[in-house]
Structure 1
């Protein structure tokens, strides 16, 4: 209790914690409490002397033991450093001990796994030959596919499928099955690609048999795939034909299409059974008509050929009759498979023939008009006597006196000769009308020439121009009518139409209307001539097959 009061007196702000529990300090306070006043007065000097003595002793001790103190300090410092490092190492060790324990556990687990794997490896080594055969199945299948041994490849694929169903949980077996599926797709593509080559019928049967066994397509899909692949191959052949010469291109297209398209049709009918009226399209029982697949594809190919034919015939400048004959033979040959398409070609052929004849006739007419623009009447003697009953188809000699008429006649004869094998009865009306219109333009051109030049005509030139008109009306016009009757014989027309020759003549089929043609220049013709002479009243009693030749 008294000690506490002393502490409060000495340390009014609180005694330091280091002195509260210091026994020496407490004993010294107790000793001071037992001292007298004199002792207390001397205590300060005593303490000073004792302090001085202690300092001197300490200094002597330090001087005498200086080296020892230094060594002690160094040792203390080293010991402190070592203890500090040791503490850090221990802390690090304590930190890493859990990880070390974990790694030890992992090591034990790994060691156990290694032992298990070692056992499995030993077991694998003992059965390595059998396992090697299984592992080589995909590479063996790939080799078979590359060498075209699809039968063996299908057998290997079937074995791998069974192996996968039985041991599909094993990763290596699963990998083998995956490789087989990839090779399966490659084999499918290779088989489809082989259909796009020049195959014989036995080879086609074999390839389609493989595709059926692969079960990659339904029956309708397989038919479509077959036709698509064969079409791609045929299109490649047709695309390789040079397109510079339209005649050669069409001729080669006909040849290749006729041969290969018929072979494809034969292969299709031999491979696919069309006895059943409908085919199941798959698991869903939806019936597909077999005719839609085959004849739809065939119709497309025929349409493609007709497009090519129309384009090439339009660009062709020669041998039109030969190309048309080849086209019609091509269409007829497909009657053996129920696909005679001559009826589809006929309108296009007639259109092309008529277009070419019309263009040629326009050129001939235009050339006559140009000749009339530069024509000069010559003052030469001209015989007014016309040749009656001229034999054969030799052009009238009087045309030689007037070169515009001679060139016009030669142009028509060239047209008749060029298209002599292409004239069909169905075009008789159009061609007759076109020739008649051409002659009307000729008459108009003659009249225009007269209106332009008659003012400056001399008397001999007037006679020459009259002879020109007479030659045109009574020599050239009957001759053209005779040529038309050779091109379209009346007896042939009568047989085709089922009427008599007189009825043909009465209806004017294949006859030019001379009055209409000469109406423009009627006033320029001598009155002594009858317009009906040698034209529309020319009755054909006998027709002969003659070849038109131009002088």
Structure 2
């Protein structure tokens, strides 16, 4: 029993110890218990909320399940957008799109890449991108993909930019290889457009219309080639019309310009003459270069097609004829433009030296164009003849104006001293001009022997001397640039616009000084007016006519006028009286004459009888 009591006592003591230990543990972990209780309460609240949410979503889930299970509505073949099959297909497409992300990025970068190639002059790469756009269009024709269509549209836009950029490059100076490269790129652009047109026509055409479609393609190709030629010439026109800045021309151009530049050009004429020569040289070199490039690029290729047998011979012959006519029209238009520019710039010339330099340059220009079948030499003489005649008439007009002004001033002032000269005039012998020495040629028709110096009698009348000097200055302009077409015009002008004008001026001056009430030296003025009219009629007019004929090369006509003037200036001496003959000598001579007369009568009778006998026999 004791053992049992002891065990109970021990168990009780152990229980009390465990309770004390438990209380001590609970006291030490009181915070943990509080936190666990708090967390448990929060979990209960969350579970309650989840249960309420699930209960509220239950109806929606049932509705969604019903919708997903329903694949068709309002008849067969029409799937709902929120059906399970449709959503699955969209998901699949999006996954495939995500897998092609890098390829899609490259596709979207095609327009910007082509733009960069155009700016960097990478024509081949840009054309490859443009050709790839046609491939994309053929692959996605049926799908009508919005992204692909947008990319193709932007590439086509860059393709138009490339064409404009290539044509703009032709407006600058380009060598033959570069020009050929640009035209080749333009032709590839045309082939890309033709390929797109061909693919679109092939998809839309029926099986029986293949011949018509091929004919349409050929016509479109011919139209594209013709348009390319027109664009080429229009672009090169821009380069032709550009003015050459100083120092940019080559050594060949400068040497050719110096060939035609005269060292005797006055300073005030230097700029205008240099500008005209530069214009002629620019047109010569550039027009010849453009025509050569056109023939080498277009006509040479068409000829090669005929040799290789590509295409029908009739079409190729027609293409060559179109190219030739197009080049001919362009050349005619540019020559017409050049002649307009030449006519306007010739008005700035004031001396025949610059005119001669311009004429030589133009003749050289026409020779260069003649190798291309565009020689326009026949159109040059009217322009230069008109300007040369204007230069001569300008000098004559200055002489007549000076004469008019001098006479008016002296008449208004009543002073006659400026119209006279106190210089003693000595008549010059005609042996110096009319004869020749032993060492010289005796040809009387040479211009050196016919040429007559201005009469010294004009020194007594200074106004007439200055008038003759002005006439000679105008005729000296003909020595540098004499043209045959000006002969008749110059002869008419010297009579109507110079001699007649001088005659009218002197006649008006004489009438003015003859009016009553003239103040000053009226007597001397009237005497001088009559003397000037007489000298003008007898000396000035014959000398001017002879000088004009001599300047035109009519030596015989000049000699006639100068001989008349020499006879007037140096009249021949009167004939000497015959010597006195003795009477005996006179009688002897009379008898000899009678004997000779008798002999002549006898001879004439014999001849008459012989003639009568001949008539009878006949």
TM-score (structure 1 length as normaliser): 0.63
Q: Is 1:120 matched with 2:93?
A: yes
* 1:399 counterpart (437, 450, 458): 458
Name the structure 2 match of 1:366. Answer: 401
The structure whose Rg is larger is: 1
Equivalent residue, structure 2, for 1:273:
299
Q: 2:173 aligns with which of 189, 194, 198?
A: 198
Task: Show the counterpart of 2:134.
Answer: 161
Q: Is the 1:145–1:153 Cα contact (8 Å) retained in structure 2?
A: yes
How far 1:263 sits from its partner (Å)? 0.8
| Structure-1 separation of matches of 2:478 and 2:367 | 23
Q: Secondary structure at the match of 1:182?
A: helix
102, 109, 119: which is aligned to 2:82? 109
Q: Determine which of 321, 326, 342 is the counterpart of 1:293.
A: 326
The aligned runs of 1:242-261 (5 Å cut-off) are 246-261=272-287
TM-score, length basis structure 2: 0.57
- 2:34 aligns to what? none
Q: Is residue 481–residue 512 contact of structure 1 (8 Å, CA) maintained in 2?
A: no
Aligned pair partner of 1:356 in 391, 396, 400: 391
1:191–1:207 contact (8 Å) kept in structure 2: yes
* Distance verdict in 2 for CA 1:464–1:196, change over 3 Å: closer
1:117-516 maps to which residues of 2 (within 5 A)? 117-168=90-141, 169=143, 170-215=145-190, 218-237=224-243, 246-273=272-299, 289-318=322-351, 319-375=354-410, 376-378=415-417, 386-389=427-430, 394-437=453-496, 438-453=498-513, 468-469=532-533, 471-490=535-554, 505=557
Please give the alpha-carbon distance, in whole angstroms, between the structure 2 residues aligned to 1:171 and 1:264: 46
- For 2:499 and 2:564, how far apart are their aligned partners in 1? 18
The separation in 2 between residues aligned to 1:356 and 1:336, in whole angstroms, is 33
Contact kept, 8 Å, 1:377 with 1:465, in 2: the verdict is no
Q: Measure how far apart 1:309 and its partner are.
A: 0.8
1:474 deviates by 4.9
Shift in Å, 1:245: 5.7
**Residues in 2 aligned to 1:304 and 1:371: alpha-carbon distance in whole angstroms:** 45
Range moving further from structure 2, 464-473 or 142-151: 464-473
**Paired residues of 1:360 and 1:415 also in contact (CA < 8 A):** yes
Distance 1:228 1:400 in 2: 64
| Shift in Å, 1:335 | 1.0
Contact 2:399 2:470 in 1 (8 A): yes
Query: Aligned in 2, Cα 1:316/1:111: closer, same or farther, shift over 3 Å?
Result: farther
Change (3 A) 1:273 1:441: closer
| CA apart distance, 1:408 | 0.8
Cα distance change, pair 160–452 in 1 and its aligned pair in 2 (3 A): closer
- TM superposition shift of 1:434: 1.6
Whether the 8 Å CA contact 1:474–1:533 is kept in 2: the answer is no
Contact residue 542 and residue 561 of structure 2 kept, 8 A: no
Correspondence for 1:61: none
CA RMSD of aligned residues (A): 4.2
Please identify, of 420-429 and 148-157, the stretch whose mean Cα deviation from structure 2 is larger: 420-429
Gaps of 5+ in 1: 1-96, 492-500, 515-528, 536-551
Taking a change above 3 Å as real, the CA distance of residues 381 and 224 of structure 1, as seen in their structure-2 partners, is closer
d(CA) in 2 for partners of 1:460 and 1:260? 67
